[in-house]
Structure 1
Amino acid sequence: MIQPQVLAVSETLPGRVNALQTAEIRPQVSGIIKRRLFEQGAEIKKGTPLFQINAAPFEAEVSSAQAGLLRAKAANDKAQQQAAHLRPLMKTGAVSRQSFDEAIANARQAAADVAQASAALRRKELDLSFATVGAPISGRIDQALVSEEAYVTASDSTPLARIYQKDPIYVDIHQPAGVYHQLRQQSASQKATTTGVPVKILLPGGAVYHQPGRILFSGISVDTATGDVIVRIEVSNPNRELLPGMFVRVEIPRQHYEDALMVPQ
């Protein structure tokens, strides 16, 4: 006797793994790489020092800017004192109005020179801090793409290294545009969470990945070249088994029947 039963119909499609976030490490100042401060392939935290650019030129520029600021402050003190000294003399007529106005202008120029020298010092200190290249995000860092003693600039086309944030990680697949509405309806009928429909990830060897994925409806976009929908799937990757660029297969549920009637083929 044929009995109604629950039936789930799914489709297996190829997908490509993409990092949650990728950062290219680039210098913000020019100089010679003196040291690499990380182990290639290691997990690092945001702000971890990665490369040390020769800091001697920047330290010298900071010292020069500090000296320039001291000179500007000394000139400013003298100009302010001169203006203060002439003010009562101008009121009594001991000095001309023109001499007093010139002293006031010199005092204002000296104050502006102090502000400019302070800004120049802050810029040189910033350049000195950029000599230590830090990690902009947390993640796993790839191999170094430049060697020690190499000269680098901010305009180089090749980054120093790349950092990949791999947990969680994304898997992208391509589907016809009509699938989007089908998945939304399925999510509502199965009372799935608003963040996505659960799917299975199949590794290159055919084994089922131990962490389920979920379709992110906020991550769905249309490929303008083909008209297909790019469906983004988020999956936990605590052991870093899924690597960016890897091809996997994704088992996506298509239909769900609560009372399907099954007969032998």
Structure 2
Amino acid sequence: MRIEVRPGRQVIGGAAASALLALAACGGGGGDATKAKEKGGAPGQSGPVTVGYVVVQPTSVPTTSELPGRTVAYQSSEVRPQVSGVIQRRFFTEGAIVKRGQPLYQIDPSLYRASANQASANVANAQATYEAAKIRADRYKPLAQMEAISAQDYTDAVATQRQAAATIAVNRAQLDTARVNLRFTTVPAPITGRIGRSLFTVGALVSSTQTDPLATIQQLDPMFVDIQQSSANLLALRRSLASGGAVPARAEVTLKLEDGSDYGIKGAVEFAEVVVDPSTGTVTLRARFPNPNGLLLPGMFVRAVFSQSIQQNAFLVPQTAITRDAKGNATLYVVGANNRAEQRTVTAERTQGAYWVVIDGLKAGDKVITQGLANVKPKTPLQPVPADTPQKVQAPSPEQMDKMSSAKGKAG
């Protein structure tokens, strides 16, 4: 409540006000205390306590969670050689953006080119053999029909033709393999993204069986954030959704970076893992964020803030109105019947900004006392006014000033 002085009146000082209160108390005598007791107030209390209240109504409140997370590249690929040889050239700049299929390294192609040429020659040889076998089989066919040659000779000629055709197929497969290996001597980028440092230099011998990659490419726009949520909290959320006390919310996520600043671009949760990590007891939720400026880098520690559900029929009560008893129960005062204070025990498990979220113990239209609680006890008579209503204080009248002067003279 705010205190407001009417214009045109003089406000007395602290000492004069104290004297005025003492004079009023002396003038009232014991009758005022008796009347206060009859009204239900405390002894010495001259009248009802002025309090400020707010009228609460049920609303839908999102269940907001703030959980830790780590950034992960949207795509990550290790560049590896598929053939063995010496690196002759490197075609990229470390740290640059490379496109899928762009040449990155050139491995010495001499041996693979020779193998391809040999395989091509083998195919040509097999084709010549096949043509000779085919001509012989065609020539033996009418002779075998006239019984000029034995049937076995014709059968052998046809078999030789088929063997020659199979040899062509084998040699063509070998030629394809040789050409593929020759193509692998140029190492391309498997994905589009930002490439890191090169782990091998020109002149290094690389192998298709080595464990170390040549380089790593990562796609950083968009970016994944892996969020860790307690399996117990996830179980409670699912039970709340199943009971109908809450409804699913669109999982829109905001990020807080390592320096405490907001990322500024919102993301969305895409899926949740179906297994619980036995070492931490958490479930991983994965969110995706646009990263057009490259501010997010893989491995950064962040905090994700998002709403997983919406609590229905909840009350938002200012935090100043709720206190905790010795057992930890949340209590508050409401304006009851006949303007008397009524204490309530409510269920308030979390806060939302400057409010407690109360899910039990209140009903629509209750007047919750938020101001003037210092002198409020159960059944205390109240003079309720809406919260933040200005309180008008008047200067004492001339008669009261005369009494104060007389009282000061007698005291002197």
TM bucket (normalised to shorter chain) is: 0.7 to 0.9
- Cα distance in 1, alignment partners of residues 304 and 94 from structure 2: 31
Q: Which residue of 2 aligns with 1:2?
A: 54
Q: Which residue of 2 aligns with 1:33?
A: 87
Question: What do the CA deviations read for 1:1-38 (whole angstroms, capped 9, x no partner)?
Answer: 33559876745433211111211111111111111111
Identity of aligned pairs, percent?
38
Task: Return closer, same or farther for 1:109/1:254 CA change in 2, 3 Å cut-off.
Answer: closer
Task: Tell me the amino acid that sits aligned with residue 46 of structure 1.
Answer: R
Q: Which residue of 2 aligns with 1:226?
A: 280
Q: Which residue of 2 aligns with 1:15?
A: 69
Task: Return closer, same or farther for 1:105/1:236 CA change in 2, 3 Å cut-off.
Answer: same
Task: Tell me the amino acid that sits aligned with residue 109 of structure 2.
Answer: A
- Cα distance in 1, alignment partners of residues 295 and 79 from structure 2: 24
Q: Which residue of 1 aligns with 2:318?
A: 262
Report how far residue 220 of structure 1 moved: 6.2
Greater Cα shift, 113-122 or 244-253: 244-253
What is the DSSP-based 3-state SS (H/G/I as helix, E as strand, rest coil) of the residue aligned with 2:263? coil
Question: What do the CA deviations read for 1:103-160 (whole angstroms, capped 9, x no partner)?
Answer: 1111111111011111111111111111111122121111111111111111110011
| Equivalent pair of 1:3/1:261 in contact (CA under 8 Å) | no
Asked if residue 133 in structure 1 is aligned to residue 197 in structure 2, the reply is: no
Task: Tell me the amino acid that sits aligned with residue 318 of structure 2.
Answer: M
Q: Which residue of 2 aligns with 1:206?
A: 260
Asked if residue 86 in structure 1 is aligned to residue 150 in structure 2, the reply is: no
What is the DSSP-based 3-state SS (H/G/I as helix, E as strand, rest coil) of the residue aligned with 1:2? strand
Task: Return closer, same or farther for 1:232/1:221 CA change in 2, 3 Å cut-off.
Answer: farther
- Cα distance in 1, alignment partners of residues 309 and 174 from structure 2: 66
Equivalent in 169, 187, 197 of residue 115 of structure 1: 169
- Cα distance in 2, alignment partners of residues 236 and 181 from structure 1: 30
| Equivalent pair of 2:249/2:309 in contact (CA under 8 Å) | no
Question: What do the CA deviations read for 1:50-97 (whole angstroms, capped 9, x no partner)?
Answer: 111111211111111111111000010001001111111122222222
| Equivalent pair of 1:202/1:250 in contact (CA under 8 Å) | yes
TM-score, length-normalised on structure 1? 0.88
Report how far residue 221 of structure 1 moved: 4.5
- 1:63-212 map, 5 Å: 63-180=117-234, 192-193=249-250, 197-212=251-266
Greater Cα shift, 107-116 or 32-41: 32-41
- Cα distance in 1, alignment partners of residues 274 and 236 from structure 2: 13
| Equivalent pair of 1:23/1:137 in contact (CA under 8 Å) | yes
Q: Which residue of 1 aligns with 2:355?
A: none
Task: Tell me the amino acid that sits aligned with residue 129 of structure 1.
Answer: R
| Equivalent pair of 1:44/1:138 in contact (CA under 8 Å) | yes
CA RMSD in angstroms comes to 2.5
What is the DSSP-based 3-state SS (H/G/I as helix, E as strand, rest coil) of the residue aligned with 1:216? strand
Report how far residue 217 of structure 1 moved: 3.1
Of the two, which has the highest radius of gyration? 2
Greater Cα shift, 6-15 or 18-27: 6-15
Report how far residue 262 of structure 1 moved: 0.6
What is the DSSP-based 3-state SS (H/G/I as helix, E as strand, rest coil) of the residue aligned with 1:209? coil
| Equivalent pair of 1:220/1:232 in contact (CA under 8 Å) | no
- Cα distance in 1, alignment partners of residues 216 and 272 from structure 2: 26
Greater Cα shift, 30-39 or 112-121: 30-39
Task: Return closer, same or farther for 1:9/1:77 CA change in 2, 3 Å cut-off.
Answer: closer
What is the DSSP-based 3-state SS (H/G/I as helix, E as strand, rest coil) of the residue aligned with 1:62? helix
- Cα distance in 2, alignment partners of residues 130 and 114 from structure 1: 24
- 1:41-80 map, 5 Å: 41-80=95-134
Equivalent in 281, 289, 306 of residue 235 of structure 1: 289
- Cα distance in 1, alignment partners of residues 247 and 199 from structure 2: 48
Task: Return closer, same or farther for 1:216/1:182 CA change in 2, 3 Å cut-off.
Answer: farther
Matched positions, count: 261
- Cα distance in 2, alignment partners of residues 226 and 133 from structure 1: 41
Task: Return closer, same or farther for 1:221/1:42 CA change in 2, 3 Å cut-off.
Answer: farther
What is the DSSP-based 3-state SS (H/G/I as helix, E as strand, rest coil) of the residue aligned with 1:178? helix
Residue ranges of structure 1 left out of the alignment (5+ in a row): none
Residue ranges of structure 2 left out of the alignment (5+ in a row): 1-52, 323-412
